[in-house]
Amino acid sequence: MATKFRSLSISLPEELVTKIDATAKKQYKTRSDIIREGVIMRILPAYTPTKAEERAIKKGKEAYARGEFITWSDVKHELDNRGGTTRR
Protein backbone atom coordinates (compact mmCIF):
# COMPACT_ATOMS: atom_id res chain seq x y z
CA MET A 1 0.00 0.00 0.00
CA ALA A 2 1.40 3.39 -0.97
CA THR A 3 2.08 6.00 1.68
CA LYS A 4 -0.45 8.82 1.68
CA PHE A 5 0.84 12.36 2.03
CA ARG A 6 -0.87 15.52 3.24
CA SER A 7 0.33 19.04 2.57
CA LEU A 8 0.99 21.40 5.45
CA SER A 9 1.59 25.11 5.46
CA ILE A 10 4.09 26.30 8.07
CA SER A 11 5.95 29.52 8.78
CA LEU A 12 9.67 29.36 9.47
CA PRO A 13 12.29 32.03 10.12
CA GLU A 14 14.08 33.10 6.93
CA GLU A 15 17.44 32.00 8.35
CA LEU A 16 16.13 28.47 8.91
CA VAL A 17 14.68 28.30 5.39
CA THR A 18 18.07 29.36 4.02
CA LYS A 19 19.76 26.54 5.95
CA ILE A 20 17.13 24.02 4.82
CA ASP A 21 17.59 25.07 1.19
CA ALA A 22 21.40 24.84 1.44
CA THR A 23 21.16 21.37 2.99
CA ALA A 24 18.68 20.22 0.35
CA LYS A 25 20.95 21.43 -2.45
CA LYS A 26 24.03 19.77 -0.93
CA GLN A 27 22.19 16.46 -0.49
CA TYR A 28 20.31 16.62 -3.82
CA LYS A 29 16.97 16.52 -2.02
CA THR A 30 13.90 18.69 -1.93
CA ARG A 31 13.04 21.12 0.82
CA SER A 32 10.18 18.79 1.77
CA ASP A 33 12.57 15.83 2.03
CA ILE A 34 14.79 17.70 4.50
CA ILE A 35 11.89 18.87 6.65
CA ARG A 36 10.23 15.41 6.54
CA GLU A 37 13.45 13.70 7.66
CA GLY A 38 13.88 16.21 10.48
CA VAL A 39 10.33 15.66 11.73
CA ILE A 40 10.72 11.88 11.55
CA MET A 41 13.97 12.00 13.54
CA ARG A 42 12.35 14.18 16.20
CA ILE A 43 9.06 12.32 16.58
CA LEU A 44 9.74 8.64 15.96
CA PRO A 45 11.26 6.71 18.85
CA ALA A 46 14.99 6.09 18.74
CA TYR A 47 16.26 2.58 18.15
CA THR A 48 16.54 0.53 21.34
CA PRO A 49 19.45 -1.91 21.24
CA THR A 50 18.94 -5.54 22.23
CA LYS A 51 20.56 -6.88 25.40
CA ALA A 52 23.31 -8.49 23.29
CA GLU A 53 23.94 -5.17 21.52
CA GLU A 54 24.04 -3.35 24.86
CA ARG A 55 26.69 -5.82 26.11
CA ALA A 56 28.74 -5.35 22.92
CA ILE A 57 28.51 -1.56 23.21
CA LYS A 58 29.60 -1.69 26.84
CA LYS A 59 32.49 -4.00 25.97
CA GLY A 60 33.58 -1.66 23.17
CA LYS A 61 33.43 1.42 25.40
CA GLU A 62 35.50 -0.34 28.05
CA ALA A 63 38.11 -1.35 25.46
CA TYR A 64 38.21 2.21 24.16
CA ALA A 65 38.70 3.57 27.68
CA ARG A 66 41.68 1.21 28.08
CA GLY A 67 43.15 2.54 24.84
CA GLU A 68 42.49 -0.69 22.96
CA PHE A 69 41.60 0.69 19.56
CA ILE A 70 43.13 1.71 16.26
CA THR A 71 42.47 4.91 14.39
CA TRP A 72 41.06 5.17 10.89
CA SER A 73 44.46 6.53 9.82
CA ASP A 74 46.07 3.32 11.09
CA VAL A 75 43.57 1.21 9.16
CA LYS A 76 44.18 3.16 5.94
CA HIS A 77 47.96 2.97 6.44
CA GLU A 78 47.80 -0.78 6.95
CA LEU A 79 45.61 -1.26 3.89
CA ASP A 80 47.89 0.90 1.77
CA ASN A 81 50.98 -1.02 2.85
CA ARG A 82 49.71 -4.56 2.58
CA GLY A 83 51.63 -6.83 0.26
CA GLY A 84 50.34 -8.89 -2.58
CA THR A 85 48.59 -8.10 -5.79
CA THR A 86 46.10 -5.36 -6.42
CA ARG A 87 42.56 -5.96 -7.65
CA ARG A 88 41.63 -4.87 -11.12
Q: Are 69 and 63 in contact (CB under 8 A)?
A: yes
Q: Mean pLDDT, to the nearest integer, of 46-64?
A: 94
- Domain locations in the chain? 14-43, 51-80
Q: Full-prediction pTM beyond 0.85?
A: no
pLDDT band at 87 (very low <50, low <70, confident <90, very high): low
- pLDDT score of 88 more than 60: no
- pLDDT score of 77 more than 80: yes
Alpha helices in 1-88 (DSSP H): 14-26, 31-43, 51-65, 72-80
67 sits in the region (left: phi over 0; alpha: psi -120 to 50; else beta) called left
Q: Are 34 and 27 in contact (CB under 8 A)?
A: yes
Q: What is the dihedral of CA 27, 32, 33, 35, to 10 degrees?
A: 90
